[in-house]
Amino acid sequence: MTELSQTILDMISTSQTTDKQQFQNALKSVVSVLKNPTLSKPKHISLSLFAGLYDLFQMIEKQKISESGVRELLQKSNMQTKFINEIITVMNNIYQKQKEEPIHYPTLVDFSWRVDVIISTASLSRVLRPVIHLRMVLSDGSVKQFEMSMQNFQNLRFQTAKVISEMQTLEKSAIFKILDV
């Protein structure tokens, strides 16, 4: 059985003296912060209420606690039923939106590379070691740059070819032929 943190227990005791409107405002604030972590807690919301709700939703997400599990946990902790129902409603709305909105990963927009040869270093006068620089621009606007040795690049090429080969083998399997219909 999952155990509630002290922050969540403090939130439950604070909620005993909180009216429904204050609790709903705290829930809205927590959902906003969960969606956009750069936001901060509004000044008019109780810290213990906000922190407890935030920890509760983090715990639900990490431990994949079901609706009935959340209800049972909160009821055992003597939380008011009206607030439990509010939390369950918000929880269901969050998970419903996550199911409806598929995850979109950024795609590769531009890819460039170059090979530099390290001629010498401070300690060695003659090195002559190639280094490969890769630069990727993604559809979300981010730029990823990295460099690797020739050996690491050869390993990357090999692993990429292996994954492509396995994907082609999977595409030929019966399950993909059924789904193509």
Which residues span the domain enclosing 66?
A: 6-100
Q: What is the pLDDT of residue 174?
A: 63
| Average pLDDT for 114-129 | 85
The number of C-alpha atoms within 13 Å of 179 and in the hemisphere containing its C-beta is: 7
pLDDT per residue as tens digits for the range 23-60: 888 888 888 888 777 777 778 888 888 888 888 888 88
Residues 15 and 45 in one domain: yes
| Average pLDDT for 155-170 | 91
pLDDT above 90 (res 147): yes
Q: What is the pLDDT of residue 142?
A: 92
Residue 17 lies in a domain: yes
The number of C-alpha atoms within 13 Å of 22 and in the hemisphere containing its C-beta is: 15
Residues 26 and 74 in one domain: yes
pLDDT per residue as tens digits for the range 151-161: 999 999 999 99
Q: What is the pLDDT of residue 63?
A: 84
Nearest to 90 by CA among 3, 43, 170, 32: 32
Residues 12 and 90 in one domain: yes
Alpha helices, DSSP H only, in the chain? 6-15, 20-35, 47-63, 67-76, 81-100, 150-171, 174-179
For the beta sheet containing 143-149, the strands, ordered from the edge strand earlier in sequence to the opposite edge, are 108-118, 129-138, 143-149
Residues 135 and 88 in one domain: no
Residue 163 lies in a domain: no
Q: What percent of the chain has a predicted confidence (pLDDT) above 70?
A: 91
| Average pLDDT for 145-156 | 93
Residues 113 and 95 in one domain: no
Q: What is the pLDDT of residue 60?
A: 86
Q: What is the pLDDT of residue 57?
A: 86
pLDDT above 70 (res 101): no
Residue 90 lies in a domain: yes
| Average pLDDT for 107-132 | 88
The token duo for 150 is 């020739």
In the chain, the number of structural domains is 2
- pLDDT grade for 1, boundaries at 50, 70 and 90: low
Residues 17 and 81 in one domain: yes
Q: Which of 11-15, 35-39, 97-101 has the lowest mean pLDDT?
A: 97-101
> What is the Rg, in whole angstroms, of the alpha carbon atoms belonging to the chain?
26
The predicted model scores a pTM of 0.55
User: In the beta sheet, which residues pair with residue 117?
Assistant: 130
